[in-house]
Amino acid sequence: MKIPVEKGQEKGFLSDGRHTVEITAIEEGQSENQGIPYFAARMENDEGFVLQRFYLSDAGRPVIMGLYETVGIEPKAGQDLDTKQLIGKKLSVEVGDYTYNDPNSGSERTLRQASHFQRV
């Protein structure tokens, strides 16, 4: 069997621990269960990548504002933030697994995630 490798697919997930990464792509969408808007930031370096979703909800807003502040973009009241501003920005992230119960199936799911953002 031949497995085609397209651009951006040549890397595996980043290992557990702290990594300096660059945001290389932004994907926008809505959550499957509740239709909550989100953007997913692809954060990568030479060792691998992690794809982190940021939900535009009351609970997610402080995390989003923290991400922008970490990369040097100061959120201001009355001003819109463009997710495309994040592309090319560097930061330090903690990578690890997050386990939760899927609300649809009740089964346990594990996601690779980035957290604990720091400036570089």
Which tokens sit at 10?
Answer: 């040549």
Question: For position 104, which CATH number holds?
Answer: 2.40.50
64-107 pLDDT, tens digit per residue, is 999 999 999 999 999 999 999 999 999 999 999 999 887 777 88
In a domain, 43, yes or no: yes
User: CA–CA separation, 39 vs 1, rounded Å?
Assistant: 34
**CA neighbor of 119 nearest in space, from 25, 20, 27, 23:** 20
Single pTM value for the model: 0.86
pLDDT-derived band at 34 (thresholds 50, 70, 90) equals confident
Identify whether 32 is part of a domain. yes
DSSP 60: T
Does residue 5 lie within any of the structural domains? no
What domain range includes position 24?
A: 17-74+83-118
**How many domains are contained in the chain?**
1
For residue 44, being part of any structural domain is answered with yes
The reply to whether 3 falls in a domain is: no
